[in-house]
Amino acid sequence: MGTDSGKRRGRRYGDDVLAGDWRRPRKGAVPEVPVEHGLVVESADEGFCGAVVAWDKATVTLEDRAGRRRVFDLAPAAFLVDGRPVTVVRPAAAAPSGPLRSASGSVAVRGARARVAREGRIYVEGAHDAELVEKIWGHDLRVEGVAVEFLEGVDHLPEIVAAFAPGPERRLGVLVDHLVPGSKESRIAEQVSSPYVLVAGHPFIDIWQAVKPAVLGFAAWPAVPRGTPWKEGVLAALGRREEPGEAWRGILGRVRTFADLEPELLGRVEELIDFVTAPYVVRD
């Protein structure tokens, strides 16, 4: 078995990858490879081989054929491609050829500092909602001085709204999951009647569904039987073994711009931003 395995490895990688002192390469001797989705690399230290599914400033996430994921540091000569050491680096940003756009598609304000926060707020249901809104609309919100906070659910929304004390110059926008006729969320939302509060919602059971499935490599979000926790049910149906928090980091890492999200979410968030930033008009 050992001999046959060695032959197979030789056919795949060619020369012995451990030959020579490649772990201490001379300066400039190891080529740099820009990271991209689907790039297949192997960890030089641990032998974990997989395709790139996400990355950030300092790490890259690999997924092997069995669906297992590992996170590795973007260190010099940390990976192998075709058996040879490489340094995986973040891709260089393309020089803008026109107006700089934010992730939401709006014209970015170059060098803009965050505006002093308005009294108005946007509330979302949970941490994942807040992170997605920040990733796509963060620039816009900082320019407008709008803070986003999460509620950990909407069961007590009427009491939360009353405690916020909305008014003409203190508007509140609320983004609600699964706001469809007959849902628990819609019944709760109907209890909020202040003209200075806008409750807007999308039809998805969870904010995860607002990410287009094609961005994540599958055709459609799986159906989850009633009574099964939705996130756990989705991961089980997709054959994923990671915890929801880890899975969400991978999902969020695949989202780059508004084009990766469903329009049902895009319209509602834009509507909420417009509502809380509308100028207060004094009428005679």
Q: What is the pLDDT of residues 85-126, one digit of tens each?
A: 999 998 876 555 555 666 766 655 555 454 445 688 999 999
Instruction: Identify the CA nearest to 87 among candidates 144, 20, 23.
Output: 23
> CA 29 to CA 64: how far, in whole Å?
28
| pLDDT score, position 145 | 87
| pLDDT score, position 58 | 84
Enumerate domains of the chain plus CATH numbers. 2-89 (2.30.30.60), 121-277 (no CATH)
Q: Sign of torsion, CA 197 203 207 211?
A: negative
Instruction: Identify the CA nearest to 132 among candidates 223, 47, 254, 221.
Output: 254
| pLDDT score, position 18 | 34
pTM: 0.61
The CB-side HSE value for 174 (13 A sphere, CA atoms) comes to 30
Token duo for residue 176: 């609600």
Residues of the chain with pLDDT under 70: 1-28, 93-102, 104-118, 280-284
Which amino acid is present at 278?
Answer: A
| pLDDT score, position 67 | 80
| pLDDT score, position 113 | 52
The count of residues in the chain is 284
Q: What is the pLDDT of residues 53-84, one digit of tens each?
A: 888 888 889 888 878 888 898 888 889 987 78
> CA 115 to CA 102: how far, in whole Å?
17
Q: How would you classify the pairing of strands 79-81 and 84-89?
A: antiparallel
Token duo for residue 127: 């941490």
> CA 75 to CA 64: how far, in whole Å?
20
> CA 137 to CA 271: how far, in whole Å?
12
